[in-house]
Amino acid sequence: MAPEVVAAMAAASRASVDIGELQDAASRRIAEATGAEAGLVTTGAAAALTLAAAASIARWDVAKMAALPHADTFPRDILIPRTHRTGYAHALAASGARLIDVGHNDRGTGAGVRGLEAWEIETALSPSVVAVAFSVNATSIVDFATTAAVCRANGVPLIVDAAAQLPPKENLKRFIAMGADLVAFSGGKALGGPQASGILAGRRDLVASALLQQLDMDVAPETWTPPRMIDRANLRGVPHHGIGRGFKAGKEEIVGLLTALDRFVIADDGKTNAALEARLKSIASALDGLDVKLVPASVTGRTPVLEIAVADALAMSARLQRGDPPVHLSERHSARGVLTLDPQVLLPEHDAPLAAAIREALQ
């Protein structure tokens, strides 16, 4: 994290504040940065997805909030394209939602040319469906407009997992502008905030429901003053602790995330990537003689990375992790014999010892 983010978190640790009021303030900042109606600081993108699902199921119904994750007696189905059913989808199911696969997605699996089609979503819609989930990336984005149009026409919220879609910073607003009702971002990684932080941005009523299910509700109903984004007239009572209570972001994470968000919004993506590319070139030079390849941001669509080709990628990854210092490279492309070095969260002073550790392990 940047020094100013650390300083902001330290300052927040010395203050006393109502978390609901702080989240209200955070909502305004997130809304400005994302173009959404409201926003919420969560304890990570996975927590944002669980809260998004819980909000879609419960809305303003305090009885449903009290029941989650036990939702067998009321609508709780979330449609999800088959090729989007990853391990991260478990965060949606953790709310009590039942995930229903839709579509054939021949294109996504390499079996053909067709992707997700409108009729495949429409056919699966029923009174038990509370939302549609979509994991967006450079491949799936081609199906986004179709999905958003169906959701909008049928009044079904669209939950978008955009955890790893920063940078470019334009993506902060892109998915909301394209029709998403709720979008989850990671607060760590490229955003540069606390690693245990995330953002849920979107429709005010849904974000308000998510916040309500995250707050400390050990309060007397007679004296409770809800955060501004929560309209008490929509509630038939005051809920108890919700399913998101374990995801309650602390004041330090909220302030740190907002500070990082401000830095990210004004940063120049081009200059940031140029600096990262220069560092990767220096690392590649230190690995001279090894099979390395610099992949620029223009190709990855996000940030530059260094690909290191090895005979047995997983065996080499295990050896690197057991080293001193331990090195963790991405195994995303291990099937084709490649380990990937992504420098986003590395400090410049880590570059030289990192290169030395890689060279030692490969030799």
The pLDDT tens digits for 239-252 are: 999 999 999 999 99
What count of other Cβ atoms lies within 10 Å of the Cβ of residue 197?
Answer: 28
φ, ψ of residue 81 in degrees (nearest 5): -55, 145
Check: CB of residue 360 under 8 Å from CB of residue 323: yes
The structure tokens listed for 42 are 């969560």
Q: With 90 as the cut, is the pLDDT of residue 343 above it?
A: no
Q: Cα separation of 336 and 139, whole Å?
A: 19
Q: State whether 215 and 248 are in the same domain.
A: yes
The DSSP output letter for 2 is -
Give the residue from 231, 266, 301 where a domain finishes.
266
Based on the fold, state whether residues 107 and 49 are members of the same structural domain.
yes
In angstroms, rounded to a whole number, what is the distance separating the alpha carbons of residues 133 and 85? 10
Domain count, the chain: 2
Q: What pLDDT score was predicted for residue 341?
A: 94
Mean pLDDT of the chain: 94
302 band by pLDDT with thresholds 50, 70 and 90 = confident
Q: Whole-model pTM above 0.85?
A: yes
325 prior amide bond cis, ω within 30? yes
Regarding whether 50 and 116 lie in a shared domain, the answer is: yes
The CATH number for 318's domain is: 3.90.1150.180
**211 in the same domain as 286:** no
The sign one gets for the Cα dihedral 104, 105, 107, 109 is negative
pLDDT at 239: 93
- Please tell me whether residues 262 and 273 are part of one structural domain: no
Question: Are residues 339 and 249 part of one domain?
Answer: no
The pLDDT, as a whole number, for residue 177 is: 98
Confidence at residue 345, expressed as pLDDT on a 0 to 100 scale? 80
Per-residue pLDDT reduced to its tens digit, 79-133:
999 989 999 999 999 999 999 999 987 887 788 888 899 999 999 999 999 999 9
Tell whether 187 and 39 lie within a shared domain: yes
**Residue that terminates a domain, selected from 227, 243, 266:** 266
Tokens of 61: 């119904």
Residue 325 pLDDT exceeds 90: no
Kindly state the percentage of the chain with pLDDT values over 90.
83
291 with 160, same domain? no
| Whether residue 186 is found in the same domain as residue 249 | yes
Residue position matching structure tokens 């429709």: 203
Claim to verify: residue 9 and residue 130 sit in the same structural domain: yes
Task: Give SS3 for 330.
Answer: strand
Nearest-10 crossing angle of helices 351-362, 269-286: 40
CATH number at residue 246: 3.40.640.10
Contact at 8 Å (CB) between 44 and 249?
A: no
Same domain, 251 and 283: no
pLDDT 10s digits, 149-188: 999 999 999 999 999 999 999 999 999 999 999 999 999 9
Pair of tokens at residue 59: 């809305």
What are the pLDDT digits (tens) for 118-159? 999 999 999 999 999 999 998 899 999 999 999 999 999 999
Q: For residues 160 and 305, state if they share a domain.
A: no
Structural domain of 349? 269-362
Long-range contacts of 151-156 (CB under 8 A, 24+ apart): 151/121, 151/179, 151/181, 152/179, 154/122, 154/125, 156/125, 156/129, 156/130, 156/131, 156/132
Q: What is the mean pLDDT of residues 205-214?
A: 97
Task: Indicate whether 363 pLDDT > 90.
Answer: no
Q: Which of 202, 234, 266 is the last residue of a domain?
A: 266
pLDDT of residue 120: 95
Q: Please check the confidence at residue 300 and state whether its pLDDT lies above 90.
A: no
Count other Cβ atoms within 10 Å, centred on residue 322: 10
